[in-house]
Structure 1
Amino acid sequence: MAETAKHIDEIVDDGASWYAVRLFTIRQEEVKAFFIENGLECFVPQQYVVVEGSNGRPHEILRPVVRNLIFVKQAAGERQFRKIIQDADYKISVLRKSKDSQEYALIPHEQMYEFRLMCNPEITMRKFLSSEEARMKAGTEVFVKFGPLKGLSGRLVRSSKKYYLLKEVPGIGVMLKVSRWCCVPAEDRK
C-alpha cells in the first residue's frame, strides 16, 4: 500500500502536455538520461516481472513494458524540443498528428495524468496493449464514479469475461480491471 501511495504522490498534474517518442535503439535508459540531462521529465511504463537471481531463486524486478517508447513532458516550445531531438545521438522520432503532418502529436495533460496513474506497477489486474489492439476494442466511454479507480475515465471494454477500463495514448494502451457497476456513461459524469 505504501508503494501505491508513493507512486500516486510522484505523479503531478501540472497542466503540461506530453510527447510520445519512438526509439529505434535498444538503449532506452541512455535515451531517457539524455532527455533528463536536457531538463525534460520522462515517463516509461513499467511492470514487475519475475526473474531468476544469481542464487537460483526467483525475485521480482521492474522492467519497461515496451522498449521502444518514452513519454517526454512538454517543458519548452516545440522549436526547442525539435532542436533537442536533432541533437540526439540516437535514432528516435516523435509521433506526429498524422502521417502527412510535420506537427508533433501532443498528449493532453489530463489524458497523460490518468494514464500514468493507471500504469502503477503495484496494480496487478492490468494489461498493456499496442495502439492497434486498443483501437480494435469496442467499448463505451465511461467515468468511474465509485471504488478504488474513482475519478478515472476511459472506455469500458470486455476481455476474457471481465470488464476493464481502457485508456489509450499514442503508442500504447492500458486496461485495468474494474466493476462495470462502478462506471457511469461519460456524459453522466456529474
Structure 2
Amino acid sequence: MTKATRYIDGIIDDGASWYALRLFTLKLEEVRTYFTNLGLECFVPEQYVDVEGADGKLHPILRPIVRNLLFIKQPKKDKSLQKLIQETNYKISIIKKHKESQELALIPHDQMYEFRLMCNPEISMRKFLSSEEAQMKAGDEVFVKFGPLKGMNGRLVRSSKKYYLLKEIPGLGVMLKISRWCCVPIEKK
C-alpha cells in the first residue's frame, strides 16, 4: 500500500462540518495536541519539505502549509467549541463568515472532504493560496467528469499557462493541476 493510498484511506466523510481556527501563536502542534486530547478531530494541511539531516543528506519531512490555521471537526452537541477555546492557554479565534458578522464560518462536510483529499502531500502539482488570492482568481464553476479528481467540483482557473481546479474554504485555497478537458461547466440556476 502506498503513502498516497494510506492518506486517502484516512480521509473519511462522516457528514460532520468543520470550523477553521486562526491561531495567534506559533505553537501549532501544541494546539493540535490539546484539541486531539479533548477528543476532537483536527486537520492541518501539510507538504513535504527537504531538510538537511545530521548526515548531510536531504530528508523529506512534513511541515504545515500555514502555521496559524487549524481545522477542527464540529464537536458533538454536548461540547461547545467556543467554550473549549476560552479554556485554552492559547490565543485562538474561530473564523467568521464575514468580517462584520458574528456568525461562525462552518465548512460543509462535502467541501472539507474534497479539500482534505486535495491536500494530499504526495501530490506535487499543487498550489496553496490565501483566501484573498483565491477570490482574485477568475474561473468558471466546473464539475470534474473524468480522471483522478472525478466527482469533485470547484473553479477552473489558469495559472502559469496551466489549468488548475481551485477549492476554496475559509482561510485557505488549494489548486490541483488538471486537464480542462476533464471538466464540464456547472450550470447556474
Please classify the TM superposition score into its range, dividing by the shorter chain length. Answer: over 0.9
Equivalences for residues 55-94 of structure 1 within 5 A: 55-77=55-77, 80-94=80-94
Shift of 1:105: 1.0
Which secondary structure does the structure 1 equivalent of 2:20 belong to? strand
Question: How many angstroms apart in 2 are the aligned matches of 1:71 and 1:131?
Answer: 15
Q: What's the counterpart of residue 134 of structure 1?
A: 134
* Cα shift readout 1:27-68 (whole Å, capped 9, x = no counterpart): 000000111111110000000011111111111111000000
Question: How many angstroms apart in 2 are the aligned matches of 1:78 and 1:102?
Answer: 22
Question: How many angstroms apart in 1 are the aligned matches of 2:77 and 2:171?
Answer: 22
Unpaired segments of 5 or more residues in structure 1?
Answer: none
Q: Which moved more, 1:101-110 or 1:132-141?
A: 101-110
Unpaired segments of 5 or more residues in structure 2?
Answer: none
Matched AA of 1:124: S
Question: How many angstroms apart in 2 are the aligned matches of 1:78 and 1:126?
Answer: 38
* Cα shift readout 1:50-99 (whole Å, capped 9, x = no counterpart): 11111111111110000000000002249711110110110110001222
- TM-score by structure 1 length? 0.95
Shift of 1:151: 1.1
Question: How many angstroms apart in 2 are the aligned matches of 1:72 and 1:142?
Answer: 27
Q: What's the counterpart of residue 11 of structure 2?
A: 11
Q: What's the counterpart of residue 182 of structure 1?
A: 182
What's the Cα RMSD here? 1.4
Question: How many angstroms apart in 2 are the aligned matches of 1:171 and 1:31?
Answer: 17
Question: How many angstroms apart in 2 are the aligned matches of 1:22 and 1:78?
Answer: 23
Percent of aligned pairs with the same amino acid: 70
Q: What's the counterpart of residue 20 of structure 2?
A: 20
Q: What's the counterpart of residue 31 of structure 2?
A: 31
Matched AA of 1:172: L
Question: How many angstroms apart in 1 are the aligned matches of 2:159 and 2:78?
Answer: 39
- TM-score by structure 2 length? 0.96
How many residue pairs match? The answer is 188
Shift of 1:101: 2.4
Matched AA of 2:182: C
List structure 1 segments (4+ residues) > 4 angstroms apart after TM superposition.
none
Q: What's the counterpart of residue 154 of structure 2?
A: 154
Which secondary structure does the structure 2 equivalent of 1:175 belong to? strand
Shift of 1:103: 2.2
